[in-house]
Amino acid sequence: MRPVLSVTSECAPLVKTGGLADVAGALPAALAPQGWGMRTLLPGYGSVLKALRRPKTVAEFPDHFGGKARVLSGKASGLDILALDAPHLYDRPGTPYLDAGGIDHPDNPQRFAALGYAAAEIAKGALGDWTPEVVHCHDWQAGLAPYYLRNDKIGTVLTIHNIAFQGVAPAYLIDALRLDRSDFTQAGYEYWGQVSTLKAGLRYATRLTTVSPTYAEELTTPEFGMGLDGLLRAREGDLSGILNGIDTVTWDPANDPATVPYKTAKGKARAKKRLRKEFGLPETDGPLAVVVSRLSHQKGLDVLLDALPALIDRGGQLVVLGSGDRALEANLRKAADHPNVAVHIGYDEAMSHRIIAGGDAIIIPSRFEPCGLTQLYGLRYGTIPVVARTGGLVDTVIDASPMALRAGVATGLQFGPVTAHALATALLRLIALHRDPTTWARMQKNAMATEVGWDASAPAYAALYDEVAGA
Ligand code: ADP
Ligand code: GLC
């Protein structure tokens, strides 16, 4: 096996706030058959250290961004983990990024610089008996690793999962973050007078990827590049889009312990009945639409609230599971006053399975979406995705256009732009399709037959590692 180091702040099932964790957690198993043996470097959060089986100290850093640190190696949930055990940085309550009160940890720049620095040390041989040929960095949290490796001949890949998070830190931290002042320029890691760890990664990594081909194109435009589009245009030749897959074992309708398993769409009826019961929804003829999502501006759920009458005035129903933005949580709760709307504010993996299995359709009205995973779960479960025409949603769902319907290939609905009017129109189309049992059954069958695993994308990553390792 050729050695590759994945550097990430999240990795399912050990620590997760979003899809990054699922992808980082799935890559090692996807790449093993391609001949790449991946180890995953994670911050030593409590949940990570607790999960490690028989940890061994494999490197020590006496002065690591304000305290002593060591790298622990061990297996956890079948993954080969390297945990950066640095209690002064990671042993604290809250999420990976926020304190218990929901405010960013004030030393986040140091916490993730420390991760990137440890990755660079490992790439330079700190473990002694294992040195990666390629360092694969995920998002801003790992963005400084390629910078720290800028003078070494080690291939690096930076994957953009979400360009909205840019790892911006004040310039007075330059020394504390172990950055060279001479690179504090527009051509370096400087970003509007501050430091951006994502920009550093985009500037210094050997190759750049993002998680869908359409988002790769979008990123080079001012609308989607969020200030970094110029740099991405300059590096367009080094940027590619490799579509995410999902874990088809965890997400398998035929074998899902969280819900009533089913092999064909027919079996969904029982899962749907159960879901309605769980949420106290009456039996109606209309489609049961569902949402499982972080509640952030990106996800466009405010637009869904505005478009909702189109669905529920015609016998449709909605179940939402999500958490995040407080105002959106409150508005969703208010919408749940309607007898055909149910909302659960919180984060709950098992419930997410029950909801996706029981729904007729899953609504994803994102303003931007690098890839998106829940539409892939929807496809796999015969839960028809209704998606905004953006990013990875474009690349994974075949719109029920007249031609696609005639050709018998439709798997879902796309709409655009992300406005209440366009979404309401899509919801009306959904209701009409749902009323036509033959067409609906065909779409469900197509959806369930869609390839949503890693079979296509794992070789693409392997080919990229190959190129980068030789670079
Ligand atoms: P993003 O990473 O932008 O949040 P993705 O669609 O790529 O979007 O991934 C989101 C992941 O988080 C999916 O695995 C989804 O099921 C999960 N998820 C989001 N919100 C919740 C929730 N409230 N409860 C359980 N799982 C959730
Ligand atoms: C990000 C994106 C999402 C993507 C996920 C995993 O959080 O918002 O679209 O699926 O990363 O790559």
Ligand 1 site, residue 22, Cβ cutoff 6 A: yes
| Interval 86-95 mean pLDDT | 96
Q: Please state the separation of Cα 179 from the chain's center in Å.
A: 29
CATH code for position 194: 3.40.50.2000
* pLDDT tens by residue, 433-454: 999 999 999 999 999 999 999 9
Ligand 2 site, residue 308, Cβ cutoff 6 A: no
Same domain, 185 and 309: no
Ligand 2 site, residue 246, Cβ cutoff 6 A: no
Pick from 256-270, 384-398, 410-424: least confident: 256-270
Same domain, 225 and 361: no
Centroid of ligand 2 to alpha carbon of 27 (angstroms)? 14
Same domain, 197 and 262: no
Cβ pair 143, 114 in contact under 8 A: no
Examine the pLDDT at 17 and tell me if it is beyond 70: yes
Ligand 1 site, residue 356, Cβ cutoff 6 A: no
At 470 the pLDDT is: 73
Examine the pLDDT at 46 and tell me if it is beyond 90: yes
| Interval 82-101 mean pLDDT | 96
Same domain, 30 and 128: yes
* pLDDT tens by residue, 53-82: 999 999 999 999 999 999 999 999 999 999
Ligand 2 site, residue 372, Cβ cutoff 6 A: yes
Same domain, 225 and 343: no
Ligand 1 site, residue 292, Cβ cutoff 6 A: yes
Same domain, 82 and 134: yes
Same domain, 278 and 394: yes
Counting from 1 in the atom list of ligand 2, the atom nearest the Cα of 161 is 11
Ligand 1 site, residue 25, Cβ cutoff 6 A: no
Same domain, 81 and 220: yes
Question: What gap in Å lies between CA 201 and CA 334, rounded to an integer?
Answer: 42
Taking CA atoms only, the protein residue closest to ligand 1 atom 2 is 19
Taking CA atoms only, the protein residue closest to ligand 1 atom 9 is 19
Domain that holds residue 108: 2-245+455-469
At 471 the pLDDT is: 64
Ligand 2 site, residue 390, Cβ cutoff 6 A: no
Ligand 1 site, residue 323, Cβ cutoff 6 A: yes
Ligand 2 site, residue 202, Cβ cutoff 6 A: no
Q: What length is written for the chain?
A: 471
Q: Which of 371, 373, 395 to mutate to test the pocket of ligand 2 (most atoms within 8 A of CB)?
A: 371
Same domain, 111 and 62: yes
Same domain, 274 and 385: yes
**Count of domains forming the chain:** 2
Ligand 2 site, residue 374, Cβ cutoff 6 A: no
Same domain, 303 and 434: yes
What ligand has the least distance to the C-alpha of 391?
Answer: 2
Counting from 1 in the atom list of ligand 1, the atom nearest the Cα of 356 is 16
266 — pLDDT class (breaks 50, 70, 90): confident
Q: Which of 20, 163, 198, 246 to mutate to test the pocket of ligand 2 (most atoms within 8 A of CB)?
A: 20
Q: Which of 11, 157, 162 to mutate to test the pocket of ligand 2 (most atoms within 8 A of CB)?
A: 162
Q: Which residues contact 173 (CB under 8 A, 6 or more apart)?
A: 109, 110, 195
At 15 the pLDDT is: 97
Centroid of ligand 2 to alpha carbon of 9 (angstroms)? 14
Ligand 1 site, residue 322, Cβ cutoff 6 A: yes
Counting from 1 in the atom list of ligand 2, the atom nearest the Cα of 298 is 8
Residue 304 buriedness (CB in 10 A; 0-12 / 13-18 / 19+): buried
Mean pLDDT (the chain, rounded)? 97
Neighbours of 104 (CB within 10 A): 11
Cβ pair 106, 170 in contact under 8 A: no
Token readout for 162 is: 């979400």
Question: What gap in Å lies between CA 166 and CA 375, rounded to an integer?
Answer: 25
Centroid of ligand 2 to alpha carbon of 437 (angstroms)? 33
468 — pLDDT class (breaks 50, 70, 90): very high
Q: Which of 293, 325, 349, 387 to mutate to test the pocket of ligand 1 (most atoms within 8 A of CB)?
A: 293
* pLDDT tens by residue, 142-164: 999 999 999 999 999 999 999 99
Q: Which of 137, 244, 298, 396 to mutate to test the pocket of ligand 2 (most atoms within 8 A of CB)?
A: 244
pTM for the predicted model, two decimal places: 0.96
Same domain, 181 and 270: no
Question: What gap in Å lies between CA 362 and CA 289, rounded to an integer?
Answer: 6
